[in-house]
Chains A and B, each alone.
Chain A
Amino acid sequence: MMAFEGLAERLQGTMQKIRGKGKVSESDVKEMMREVRLALLEADVNFKVVKEFVKKVSERSVGQEVMKSLTPGQQVIKVVKEELTELMGGEESRISTAKRPPTVIMMIGLQGAGKTTTTGKLANLLRKKYNRKPLLVAADIYRPAAIKQLETLGKQLDMPVFSLGDQVSPVEIAKQAIQKAKDDHLDYVLIDTAGRLHIDEGLMDELKQIKDLSSPEEIFLVVDSMTGQDAVNVAESFNEQLGITGVVLTKLDGDTRGGAALSIRAVTGKPIKFVGMGEKLDALEQFHPERMASRILGMGDVLSLIEKAQTNVDETKAKELEQKMRTMSFTFDDFLEQLGQVRSMGPLDEILKMLPGANKMKGLNNVQVDEKQIGRVEAIIRSMTKNEKQQPEIINSGRRKRIARGSGTSIQEVNRLLKQFEDMKKMMKQMSSMQQKGKKKGGMPKLPFM
């Protein structure tokens, strides 16, 4: 009921009907378009945007591309994905720089979108990636302790925060902050404004005043990626009144499909520049339209997964491991190391979720990888002596008892692990002999807890 179906699953029913006929009719295309519409609506894409979009896809589909194709379902998905990606624009995470420093960036948006956190993340990125010196400006004088929040972030980042308390107008704060940046030779000024409703005339006017006096190079609209149909009203209104230059999509590490991204892009035409991917201060990433398209369609995020694996798995170590597997000299030490590498990619259930269709797969559905269980496996291995790790066959019942006591587990658990390790080695032997015949490069073996 609750896990929303992706487009691929949605199209399956229609496909089965067509399969017997061997030819795709216009009414088949119409039926497929209904599924496309549903998939997008469930992803929170605004219904008006959906209407336009489906019209466009439908025209392409009724034409040669889909109807003449042998795999019309795949073809529809391909067309939809292409159009979606195109609509969301190119990858653009550039930040403009003013001709004369400091460059001013205004952060605006509704309450609770994540402006203050994003301001901290953006400052961190500017320093880390571009070697800039930003000044954080606490211009949210309304929400209790908002200033304190920015100050704490400034402390964590070891960056200057400009504040005049909550009794001075944000316009004045912005003015003095820019002067301060000039005096201290800081080259970026990030103004964290208070969250406000786009229909609050008084507060919108305040933003206009800040804009007029600071001539910002960028005005970033910060939007919660879980926003529903109202995203278009919000984005349109902020854009009309202030002329935003880009969008930052926050909380994308949740399980929302994030259709708001498409809606906002469609109504404002402004690029999505960054996405917030976690609570830590380095979790601000570049926006990838193609990945977002997959996500909206519920097709998983394979690219991110590959990227994660690439950044976290050491290649030379992987080669060494492969060698060990071939020669059957894989030990508990190697196993422990491998565990560490997999875990450094992040929580395992999140990694599983990135696999396309993982939420639909039997067995994987609602799988909760028990991180505690992995911890226990690690504890057992760490309780072995050096010799035991290298030559597990010497582990007799006395040693098993000691290992169980040392790791705070039971003898049964130790036995199970030893058995699994034996099985794994056997499997590796089979795999490597298969690979040598096929002359293929080896991958990672399956771990016992997966």
Chain B
Amino acid sequence: MSFFKKLKEKLSGSQEQEQTTEKYTEGLKKTRSGFSEKMNNLFARYRKIDEDFFEELEEILIGADVGFDTVVELIDELKLEVKRQNTNEPEALREIITEKFVGIYAGDDEMSSELNIQETGLTVILFVGVNGVGKTTTIGKLAHQFKTEGKKVMLAAGDTFRAGAIEQLEVWGERTGVDVIKQAEGSDPAAVMYDAVRAAKSRGADILLCDTAGRLQNKVNLMNELQKVKRVIEREIPEAPHEVLLVVDATTGQNALIQAKTFKEATAVSGIVLTKLDGTAKGGIVLAIRKELGVPVKFVGLGEKMDDLQPFDAEKYAYGLFAQAFEQKESESEDETAE
């Protein structure tokens, strides 16, 4: 059975499966329309695989913000595969490309996209990232989801710097019916965290979601401040924070790789939240992040609604990206057999 067919069958099992697959397919509509159109176009125009074919493929991938080194490696692997299969049929490559994508996203290690949630006691999740990527919104959406699962959730308003940031988190607290621990604007974020962890412990919360101010990774002082925030949490609960999630805007280019590296060094980032994928950006840089730093994507933002933040699933993602191309091809081959 083809890789696509296997994927499709796997993803259309239960009703719940189909619903989230649908979310991916819908959310990635714009992302895909550029990407798979280009892919289809490429496969339609080339009769055989040659240098020009690879050059165009390279451009499509670069256009999706997949880092240059990653693209070159990927193309080299594909060239090798072509040689091994002794083919020069472009169609043969279509599936191999999808497979490679899933391979990189999913990784060959055991690192999964699942969150490290404690079975008993408090789970602390720290959110970090540069300015304007959607940290607070992500926290709001996650608070809603955890609450729906029946968990007791609390929020820590650690962005004491940006005007209106505390109020923004408070609105989310009201919307989701969740307590927000805060201090005045301009106060020490580490002190807010200390309060929040204490309060979460004493009130018996299951999940504490900690917001922090956006900061550019080259600001040494601000990165030091972030380390201090993390240390304060560690001091209260030795194994916390249980997750440090770096929020990355899907429209970001190569700088996202430097972001991931620097934030990882400072705060031991355990996963990526890739936001704003419902635009036309492809967020391909997470491929490079996964490949070079080993940090997995844990959530993707596929829209503005509360439940549009989805746990990342490499297979669904790849299916969402290639669905159109795949289905088209499948129906064609069915037509052929019918004739």
A residues sitting closer than 8 Å to B (CB atoms) are: 1-4, 38, 41-44, 46-47, 110-114, 116, 143-153, 156, 197-199, 224, 226-231, 233-234, 251, 253-257, 259-260, 279, 347, 349-350, 353, 368, 371
Q: Would B130 and A4 count as touching, CB distance under 8 A?
A: no
Q: Does B177 contact A (CB under 8 A)?
A: no
Please indicate the chain B residues that have their CB under 8 angstroms from the CB of A228 in the complex.
65, 251-254, 256, 281, 285
Q: Would A199 and B62 count as touching, CB distance under 8 A?
A: no
Q: Contacts A47-B62, A347-B220 hold; do A198 and B279 have CB atoms under 8 A apart?
A: yes
Complex partner residue of B172 from A41, A144, A224, CB under 8 angstroms: A144
Q: Shortest Cβ distance from B209 into chain A, in angstroms?
A: 15
Interface 1/0s, chain B 23-37, versus A by CB < 8 A?
A: 000000010001000
The complex places the Cα of A258 from the Cα of B63 at a distance, in Å, of: 16
Q: Contacts A41-B68, A144-B167 hold; do A226 and B279 have CB atoms under 8 A apart?
A: no
Q: Would B253 and A226 count as touching, CB distance under 8 A?
A: yes
Q: Would B280 and A230 count as touching, CB distance under 8 A?
A: yes
Please indicate the chain B residues that have their CB under 8 angstroms from the CB of A41 in the complex.
62, 68
Q: Shortest Cβ distance from A123 into chain B, in angstroms?
A: 13
Of the listed stretches B117-125, B142-150, B158-166, B316-324, chain A binds: B158-166
Q: Would A152 and B163 count as touching, CB distance under 8 A?
A: yes
Q: Would B261 and A2 count as touching, CB distance under 8 A?
A: yes
Please indicate the chain B residues that have their CB under 8 angstroms from the CB of A234 in the complex.
251, 279-280
B residues sitting closer than 8 Å to A (CB atoms) are: 30, 34, 59, 62-65, 68, 130-134, 140, 161-165, 167-168, 170-172, 175, 185, 216-221, 249, 251-258, 261, 276, 278-282, 285, 292
Complex partner residue of B167 from A2, A38, A148, A256, CB under 8 angstroms: A148
Please indicate the chain B residues that have their CB under 8 angstroms from the CB of A114 in the complex.
131-132
Of A110, A146, A197, most buried by chain B (CB within 10 Å of CB) is A197
Q: Contacts A198-B280, A230-B280, A254-B130 hold; do A143 and B168 have CB atoms under 8 A apart?
A: yes
Please indicate the chain B residues that have their CB under 8 angstroms from the CB of A279 in the complex.
131, 161
Please indicate the chain B residues that have their CB under 8 angstroms from the CB of A43 in the complex.
254
Q: Shortest Cβ distance from B71 into chain A, in angstroms?
A: 9
Q: Contacts A111-B276, A143-B168, A144-B167 hold; do A227 and B252 have CB atoms under 8 A apart?
A: yes
Q: Shortest Cβ distance from A447 into chain B, in angstroms?
A: 19
Complex partner residue of A254 from B133, B168, B255, B276, CB under 8 angstroms: B255
The complex places the Cα of A145 from the Cα of B159 at a distance, in Å, of: 13
Q: Shortest Cβ distance from B301 into chain A, in angstroms?
A: 10
Q: Would B255 and A349 count as touching, CB distance under 8 A?
A: no
The complex places the Cα of A444 from the Cα of B110 at a distance, in Å, of: 56
Q: Shortest Cβ distance from B171 into chain A, in angstroms?
A: 3
Please indicate the chain A residues that have their CB under 8 angstroms from the CB of B64 in the complex.
229
Q: Would B249 and A152 count as touching, CB distance under 8 A?
A: no
Q: Shortest Cβ distance from A147 into chain B, in angstroms?
A: 8
The complex places the Cα of A229 from the Cα of B253 at a distance, in Å, of: 7
Q: Would B220 and A44 count as touching, CB distance under 8 A?
A: no
